[in-house]
Amino acid sequence: MIELVNISKSFGDQTVLKDVSAQFEKGKVNFVIGRSGSGKSVMTKCTVGLLEPDSGNVLFDGRNFTAMNLKQRKEIRKEIGMLFQGSALFDSMTVEENVMFPLKMFSEMPLEEMKARVLHCLNRVELTGSEHKLPAELSGGMQKRVGIARAISMNPQYLFCDEPNSGLDPQTAIIIDNLILDLTKEYGMTTVVISHDMNSVIEASDTIHFIHQGEVAWSGNNADMMTSSSSTLNDFVYASKLMQRMRNTI
Amino acid sequence: MFYKMLVKEMGIIGIDSLGIVVLLATFMGAVMCLQTAHQVSGWYPAYIIGFTVRQTMILEFSPTLIPIILAGKVGSNIASQLGTMRVTEQIDALEIMGVNSSGYLVLPKIIAGLFCIPILVVMSMFLGVASGAGIAFVTKVCSMAEYQEGIQLDFESYSVVYALLKTSVFALIMTSVSAYHGYHTEGGALDVARSSTKAVVYSAVIIMITNLVLTQILL
């Protein structure tokens, strides 16, 4: 479980996060939703330590990440896998080298075992046969899947996905959503997905946290969200005509 | 992984820069020979041509101009590579994995620069002096014996030490300034281009100022 306790973050005069508290549960896909600029990405960056919060604490299974020194944080980070919005694959490396990278850096595995692990991860994301391709030779959806394979190569305890479906067609987006959902259950990970794609939220979420103007304005699950009386949440969820039609059928 | 990165960077900074260094050094030496011959003809003994080519190549052209040219080639390459990695979140990905991104990405470039650029500069010294001899032979501005006498005249090995000291400092400046600008890029493609330009301009300016200071201190 990951707990955020009263996290605040400002950039100059602009307060982006105001006393944010949230719990991301183990073995579940925890969605963080909200409008662009609401503070979702800043919250994630504060959680994984890419940004330092001004106040508050982040706890990974009770371990206070915010209070740790650099060396202790590195140990926690080895338990974290992250899928970035643009995949963030190393463009000078092949697919195999990308997925093998964390293993080479941190594991003591012999090369053959590493290769077997890479094959297993690529097989899990249905990309067997693409080992020797460069990221530039892959489609957006394939790059996301390589990003997921790299993120799970070290058997992480925590998986963060930043806008995993941005730029993907609806069918590929559903494949990615289901992959994240399946892997979370299979590995028992605490998964946090940052998204403003309502299709993904409906498809894959176990718990949902709605961020509005730097605060957690609403928390609950999929079913609660559809029937919520929160006007700010409803404005966000039912912004599209498709969702409005869906509401009328509920 | 670090040694693999170091070898790769040595290839990019050293081997890939061979062509431009060979071209520049060859033409600089040849032009310096013709210029000197034109200036001193009839006024000074002809061995002055070899002497001047040697002194200018060893003391200034090779240790200063080659790093400035390389700041354009290698410096922009370093800044744009790191800048692109920053804006496409590849550096964030390294940090999340628990990798010290600056140690992994920047240090091999600095060490490769410190190792390869002095070698390129020594090579350019030889090439410059040799191409001066070649052009002197072809255009007959002086005999080979006079040229040889000139390049041996009052030779001080400290000149080479001074040149290599300068080169090492310039290599450190070029790689670290470029890496700094690339690593701290924020924004998108335009900002990568800006970082690359800044890296070249700042490197060149700092090299010129340091050149003045080092020349005063070391000579």
Decide: B46 and B142 in contact? Cβ < 8 Å.
Answer: yes
**Mean per-residue pLDDT for B82-111?**
92
Between chain A and chain B, the number of residue pairs with CB atoms below 8 A apart is: 43
Q: For chain A, which residues make up each domain, given as ranges?
A: 2-79+159-249, 88-155
Structurally, at CATH architecture level, domain A2-79+159-249 sits in 3-Layer(aba) Sandwich (3.40)
Q: Cα–Cα distance between A21 and B35 in angstroms, integer? A: 75
pLDDT tens-place string over residues B58-82: 999 999 999 999 999 999 999 999 9
Write out chain A residues lying below 8 Å of B93, CB-based. 82, 84, 88, 90
Decide: B110 and B172 in contact? Cβ < 8 Å.
Answer: yes
Does A56 contact B at CB distance below 8 Å? no
Does A149 contact B at CB distance below 8 Å? no
- Chain centre to alpha carbon of residue A46: 13
Write out chain B residues lying below 8 Å of A90, CB-based. 90, 93
Q: Which residue has the tokens 């020797």?
A: A132
How far does chain B reach from its first CA to its final CA, in angstroms?
Answer: 41
CB contact under 8 A, A50 and B98: no
If pLDDT is split at 50, 70 and 90, which confidence band does B91 have? very high
The answer to whether residue A19 scores a pLDDT higher than 70 is yes
ipTM summary value: 0.81
CB contact under 8 A, B97 and A48: no
pLDDT of residue A250: 65
CB contact under 8 A, A78 and B88: no
**Mean per-residue pLDDT for A208-235?**
86
**Mean per-residue pLDDT for B180-208?**
95
